[in-house]
Structure 1
Amino acid sequence: MLLFCTVHGVQAQENGARDAQADPVTTVTTLPAVAVTAENDREPGQHLRKEVTSGALGTRTQLATPYSTTVVTSEELADRQAKKLGDVFARDASVSDNSNPYNAWASYITVRGMQLDWQNGYRIDGQPINAYGITMPYEQLESVQLLKGLSGFMYGFGAPGGIVNYVTKKPPVTDKQIASVDVGYASTNVWSEHLDLGGRAGPNAMFGYRFNATHEEGKTYNDGNVRRDSFSLSADARLTRELTATFGALYQERHASGITTALSTYGLAGTMLPAPLSGGSNTLVTPDQHLNTNLQIYTAGLRYDLGQNWTISTSYSFSKSTRYRNESTYLLSDVQGDYSDTRFEGKEGHQANAWQVMAEGLVRTGPLQHQLVFGASYQKQTSDNTANAFYQQIGIGNIYQPNTNRFNGGGYATYRAADIVQKALFVSDTIALTSRWSVLGGVRFTNYEQHGYSVNGTTSSTYAKNGVATPSVAVMYKLALDTTLYASYVESLEAGSVVGSTYANYGAVLNPLRSKQYEVGVKTQNERWSATAALFRIERGAQYANGDNVFVEDGESVFQGLEAGASVRLGRDWTVGGDLMWLATKYKKGSDYDGNRVAGAPGFVAVGHASYAVPALPGLVVGASAKFTGNTTLSPAGDIKVPGYMIYSMGATYTTKVAGHTVGLRAAIDNLTNHRYWEFQYANYIQPGQSRTVALNARLEF
Structure 2
Amino acid sequence: MKSATRSRAFPATSTMRPSTLAALLLFAMSQSAMAQGSDGAQAADQPHEASLPAVSVTASQDTLQHLRDDVSSGALGSRTQLETPFSTTIVTGEELADRQANKLGDVFAQDASVSDNSNPYNAWASYITVRGMQLDWQNGFKLDGQPYNGYGITMPYEQLESVELLKGLSGFMYGFGAPGGVVNYVTKKPPATEKQIASVDVGYRSTSVWTEHLDLGGRVGPDSVVGYRFNATHEEGKTYNDGNVRRDSFSLAADARLTRDLTATFGALYQERHASGITTAISTARYTGTSLPATLSGGSSTLQTPDQHLNTNLQIYTAGLHYNLSPDWTLSATYSFSKSTRYRNEGTWYLLDQAGDYDDYRFEGKEGHQLNTFRVMAEGLVKTGPLRHQLVFGADYQKQTTDYGANSFYAQLGTGNLYQPNVNRYDSSGFYTYRAADVTQKALFASDTIALTERWSVLGGLRYTNYEQHGYGLDGSTSSTYTQNGVLTPTVALMYKLTPGTTLYASYVESLEAGNVVGDTYANAGQLLKPLRSKQYEVGVKSQNARWSATAALFRIERGAQYANSDNVFVEDGESIFQGAEAGADVRLGRDWTVGADLMWIATHYEKGSTNNGNRVAGAPGFVAAAHVNYAVPVVPGLTLGADAKFTGNTSLSPSGDIKVPGYLVMNLGATYTTRIAGHNVGLRAAIDNLTNRRYWEFQYADYIQPGEPRTLSLNARVEF
User: For residue 33 of structure 1, what is the aligned residue in structure 2?
Assistant: none
Q: Residue 2 in 1 paired to residue 11 in 2?
A: no
Measured at CA, do residues 382 and 38 of structure 1 come closer, stay the same or move farther in structure 2, by a change above 3 Å?
Answer: farther
Pick one of 410, 413, 416 that aligns with 1:394.
Answer: 413
User: For residue 187 of structure 2, what is the aligned residue in structure 1?
Assistant: 168
User: For residue 690 of structure 2, what is the aligned residue in structure 1?
Assistant: 671
Query: Shift of residue 622 of structure 1?
Result: 0.3
Q: Are the aligned partners of 1:542 and 1:591 in contact in 2 as well (CA < 8 Å)?
A: no
Q: Residue 511 in 1 paired to residue 507 in 2?
A: no
Q: Residue 270 in 1 paired to residue 289 in 2?
A: yes
Query: Shift of residue 44 of structure 1?
Result: 3.3
Q: Distance in 1 between matches of 2:339 and 2:300?
A: 33
Query: Shift of residue 83 of structure 1?
Result: 0.2
Q: Distance in 1 between matches of 2:609 and 2:532?
A: 15
Pick one of 562, 565, 568 that aligns with 1:546.
Answer: 565
Q: Distance in 2 between matches of 1:44 and 1:55?
A: 24
Q: Are the aligned partners of 1:44 and 1:528 in contact in 2 as well (CA < 8 Å)?
A: no
Q: Are the aligned partners of 2:413 and 2:424 in contact in 1 as well (CA < 8 Å)?
A: yes
Q: Residue 49 in 1 paired to residue 68 in 2?
A: yes
Q: Residue 328 in 1 paired to residue 347 in 2?
A: yes
Give the match's secondary structure for 1:63. helix
User: For residue 656 of structure 1, what is the aligned residue in structure 2?
Assistant: 675
Deviates more, 1:586-595 or 1:423-432: 586-595
Report the residue type matching 1:162 in the other structure.
Answer: G
Q: Distance in 2 between matches of 1:649 and 1:460?
A: 50
Q: Are the aligned partners of 2:54 and 2:638 in contact in 1 as well (CA < 8 Å)?
A: no
Q: Distance in 2 between matches of 1:486 and 1:360?
A: 22
Q: Distance in 2 between matches of 1:692 and 1:405?
A: 28
Q: Distance in 2 between matches of 1:498 and 1:693?
A: 37
Report the residue type matching 2:222 in the other structure.
Answer: P
Report the residue type matching 1:183 in the other structure.
Answer: V
Q: Are the aligned partners of 2:669 and 2:691 in contact in 1 as well (CA < 8 Å)?
A: yes
Query: Shift of residue 340 of structure 1?
Result: 0.8
Pick one of 458, 473, 493 that aligns with 1:474.
Answer: 493
Pick one of 543, 547, 550 that aligns with 1:524.
Answer: 543
Query: Shift of residue 38 of structure 1?
Result: 6.1
Show structure 1 runs of 4+ deviating over 4 A: 37-41
Q: Distance in 2 between matches of 1:187 and 1:314?
A: 45
Q: Residue 70 in 1 paired to residue 104 in 2?
A: no
User: For residue 613 of structure 1, what is the aligned residue in structure 2?
Assistant: 632
Q: Distance in 1 between matches of 2:140 and 2:480?
A: 23
Q: Per-residue CA shift, 1:85-115, capped at 9, x if unaligned? A: 0000000000000000000000000000000
Query: Shift of residue 39 of structure 1?
Result: 7.6
Q: Are the aligned partners of 1:624 and 1:650 in contact in 2 as well (CA < 8 Å)?
A: yes
Q: Distance in 1 between matches of 2:542 and 2:393?
A: 27
Q: Distance in 2 between matches of 1:84 and 1:138?
A: 8
Report the residue type matching 1:602 in the other structure.
Answer: P
Paired residues, what number? 670
Report the residue type matching 2:636 in the other structure.
Answer: L
User: For residue 292 of structure 1, what is the aligned residue in structure 2?
Assistant: 311
Report the residue type matching 1:667 in the other structure.
Answer: A
Give the match's secondary structure for 1:167. strand
Give the match's secondary structure for 2:524. coil
Report the residue type matching 1:237 in the other structure.
Answer: A
Q: Distance in 2 between matches of 1:174 and 1:467?
A: 46
Q: Distance in 1 between matches of 2:433 and 2:250?
A: 27
Q: Per-residue CA shift, 1:206-237, capped at 9, x if unaligned? A: 10000000000000111100000000000000
Structure 1 residue runs without a partner (length 5+) = 5-36
Q: Are the aligned partners of 1:38 and 1:75 in contact in 2 as well (CA < 8 Å)?
A: no
Q: Are the aligned partners of 2:396 and 2:442 in contact in 1 as well (CA < 8 Å)?
A: yes
Q: Residue 115 in 1 paired to residue 115 in 2?
A: no
Query: Shift of residue 338 of structure 1?
Result: 0.2
Structural mapping, 1:374-523, within 5 Å: 374-523=393-542
Q: Are the aligned partners of 1:2 and 1:669 in contact in 2 as well (CA < 8 Å)?
A: no
Query: Shift of residue 45 of structure 1?
Result: 1.1
Q: Distance in 2 between matches of 1:3 and 1:334?
A: 37
Query: Shift of residue 270 of structure 1?
Result: 2.1
Q: Residue 307 in 1 paired to residue 326 in 2?
A: yes
Pick one of 73, 98, 102 that aligns with 1:79.
Answer: 98
Q: Distance in 2 between matches of 1:352 and 1:44?
A: 36
Q: Are the aligned partners of 1:44 and 1:569 in contact in 2 as well (CA < 8 Å)?
A: no
Q: Distance in 1 between matches of 2:327 and 2:210?
A: 52
Using the size of structure 2 for normalisation, the TM-score is 0.92
User: For residue 21 of structure 1, what is the aligned residue in structure 2?
Assistant: none
Pick one of 280, 286, 300 that aligns with 1:261.
Answer: 280
Structural mapping, 1:521-670, within 5 Å: 521-670=540-689
Q: Residue 360 in 1 paired to residue 379 in 2?
A: yes
Query: Shift of residue 411 of structure 1?
Result: 0.7
Q: Are the aligned partners of 2:3 and 2:687 in contact in 1 as well (CA < 8 Å)?
A: no
Query: Shift of residue 659 of structure 1?
Result: 1.7
Q: Residue 247 in 1 paired to residue 266 in 2?
A: yes
User: For residue 134 of structure 1, what is the aligned residue in structure 2?
Assistant: 153
Report the residue type matching 1:344 in the other structure.
Answer: F
Give the match's secondary structure for 1:474. strand
Measured at CA, do residues 572 and 591 of structure 1 come closer, stay the same or move farther in structure 2, by a change above 3 Å?
Answer: farther
Give the match's secondary structure for 2:82. coil
User: For residue 98 of structure 1, what is the aligned residue in structure 2?
Assistant: 117
Q: Are the aligned partners of 2:54 and 2:674 in contact in 1 as well (CA < 8 Å)?
A: no
Q: Distance in 2 between matches of 1:308 and 1:700?
A: 41
Report the residue type matching 2:101 in the other structure.
Answer: A
Report the residue type matching 1:652 in the other structure.
Answer: A
